[in-house]
Amino acid sequence: ETGVTQSPTHLIKTRGQQVTLRCSSQSGHNTVSWYQQALGQGPQFIFQYYREEENGRGNFPPRFSGLQFPNYSSELNVNALELDDSALYLCASSLVPGPQETQYFGPGTRLLVL
């Protein structure tokens, strides 16, 4: 069974640029969630996708957007990068959506915005 994978592992961008982060869900999982984890903080929920549609969104501006593909891989896009966007971005998949479901996390992509 393949776990959740993310790419790239590290990324450096400059303020104002755009970035795309990628995630491959665990086999058989049709739900993916994205989180932002600042240094020393807990993960902050960005949004969740289920069957290619957004199923919930946290308190993040519209410049954070996502896509989920039929093969259940997904992308997180961030436009107009700001210095505060520097963080670890985590992807997590689950079998189905729902508050009781266990999420399986990937190792994360560390983004640095200069």
Q: Which residues bind another protein (CB under 8 A)?
A: 4, 33, 35, 40-45, 48, 54-58, 90, 92, 97-100, 102-108
* Structure tokens belonging to residue 99: 């508050």
Is the CB of 58 or the CB of 75 nearer to another protein? 58
- Yes or no: say if 43 and 58 are a contact pair by the CB < 8 Å rule: no
Q: How far apart are CB 75 and another protein at their closest, in Å?
A: 19
- Asked if 28 and 18 touch (Cβ cutoff 8 Å), the reply is no
Shortest Å distance, C-beta 13 to another protein: 22
d(CA 15, CA 71): 32
DSSP state of 85: G
Cα dihedral 51→8→19→97 (10° resolution)? 20
Using the minimum distance from each CB to another protein, give the nearer residue, 81 or 94. Answer: 94
Least distance (Å) from another protein to the CB of residue 60? Answer: 12
Of 66 and 108, which has the nearer Cβ to another protein? 108
Minimum distance from residue 15 beta carbon to another protein (Å): 27
